[in-house]
Structure 1
C-alpha cells in the first residue's frame, strides 16, 4: 500500500471521527441529565472549562428540547462565579493552555491578566511540543528514506539535507521549550506542570 493511500485513509478516519464528535456534541444535556441537574455544580464545571455564562442558554435549550423545564439560573450563575475563582488563576491558565484549549475571555477584568500570563505560557509550551512531535515524525520519515537501499542518490541527498534542517529545527524548538520552562519557574509553577503534551 502506498504512502498516499495510507495518508488518505488516515485523513478519512480523522474526518469520520470529527463528524461523529460533532454529532455527539449536538446534545449538550440528555433528558435524564436535565431532570437530575445540579445547576450550581454545572455552572462551576462550565466556568472551570472556560465557558462563558451564556453557555447556560445552550443547556436550557437542550433541556427544553428534551421536554424538561426549570433551569435554575441563579444557582447556575452562583456556581459559575465560584468556578471562575478557581479557573482564573495563573496555574489554571497554564494548564488550560497546555491542553491546547482556546481561551474565550471568560475571566473578569481583575483576574484576566493573571490567567492570560499562565495561559500564554502553557499554550506556547503546548504548541512547541506539538511542533517537536511533527519534527520527530519528519525525522523518522527522512531516516526511513536514507535506510531504504532502493532510494536513488538524488533522493538520498535530498533526505540528508532535509534531516540536517530538521535536526537544526529540533535544537531550536528544544531551546525554546527550555526558555518557556524557565518562564514557568519564574511564575512559580512546579516542574510537574511543565510537561505539556
Structure 2
C-alpha cells in the first residue's frame, strides 16, 4: 500500500512539473523557434524540449524540433560570450556545458574569472558571519561575567559557595580571552578577504 502511494505521489509530481513548463495556451500558440532562442540565450540544455513535448502532449501539440533547434542555436550565440560567462560565474551559477566548441573557450574564460570573484566574495561573507557570531557570543559571556560578579558579592554565601562561583567566573573569563583572540584573527582575515574580493572585482572590470 505504501509503495502504491509513493508511486502515485511520484507520478503526480512529474505531471505537475510537466504542466508547469508550459500552459495550454503557451503550447497552442508557441513559436518554437522563439522558444528555442530563449532557452539558448538562457543556457538551457537541449533536453528541455523533451519537457515541452511532455507538457504539450496533453493538448495534442508536438514541438517543431527543427525550429526549436535552430532557435536554440541562435540563442546560444548570445549566451556563449565572455561577458555572459563572467555574469554566470559571479552569480555562482553552474555551467551546463551547452556552448559549442568554437565559443566555449571564450565563455569559460569569463566564467572562471567571474567564479573567482564569487568565491572571494563568499569567503569574505563567511568570515563576516563568523565574526558576527563571535561578537554576539562575546556579549553573552560579558553578561555571564556580570551575573557571576553580582552573585559573588552577595551576603550569606559560604566559603565553598564563594569558591565555586569564583571558579566559574574564572572559567568564563578564560573563554572570553580565547574568544577575543579569535575575534582579532577574524577581523584580520575579514580585512584581507575583503581586499582580495575588491581587487579581483576591479581587476575584472566588467
> TM-score over 0.5 for the alignment?
yes
In 2 relative to 1, CA 158–28 (structure 1 residues): closer, same or farther, beyond 3 Å? farther
Q: Distance in 1 between matches of 2:174 and 2:32?
A: 65
Question: Paired residue for 1:36?
Answer: 29
Selected match of 1:174 from 194, 199, 205: 194
Question: Paired residue for 2:120?
Answer: 128
Q: What is the Cα deviation at residue 115 of structure 1?
A: 0.3
TM (norm. structure 2) is 0.70
Q: Report matched runs for 1:7-156 at 5 Å.
A: 27-64=20-57, 66-148=58-140, 149-151=142-144, 152-156=172-176
Q: Distance in 2 between matches of 1:162 and 1:135?
A: 11
In 2 relative to 1, CA 100–156 (structure 1 residues): closer, same or farther, beyond 3 Å? same
Q: Give unpaired runs (5+ residues) of structure 1.
A: 1-21, 190-197
Q: Give unpaired runs (5+ residues) of structure 2.
A: 1-13, 145-171
Q: Distance in 2 between matches of 1:90 and 1:28?
A: 29
Aligned partners of 1:47 and 1:87 also within 8 Å? yes
Aligned partners of 1:88 and 1:115 also within 8 Å? yes
Paired positions, count:
164
Q: Distance in 2 between matches of 1:182 and 1:150?
A: 43
Q: What is the Cα deviation at residue 87 of structure 1?
A: 0.6
Q: What is the Cα deviation at residue 144 of structure 1?
A: 1.5
Q: Distance in 2 between matches of 1:24 and 1:105?
A: 27
Aligned partners of 1:31 and 1:68 also within 8 Å? no
Aligned partners of 1:47 and 1:80 also within 8 Å? yes
Q: Distance in 2 between matches of 1:46 and 1:158?
A: 54
Q: Distance in 2 between matches of 1:23 and 1:144?
A: 47
Name whichever structure is richer in helix by fraction: 2
CA RMSD of aligned residues (A): 2.3
**Structure index of larger Rg:** 2
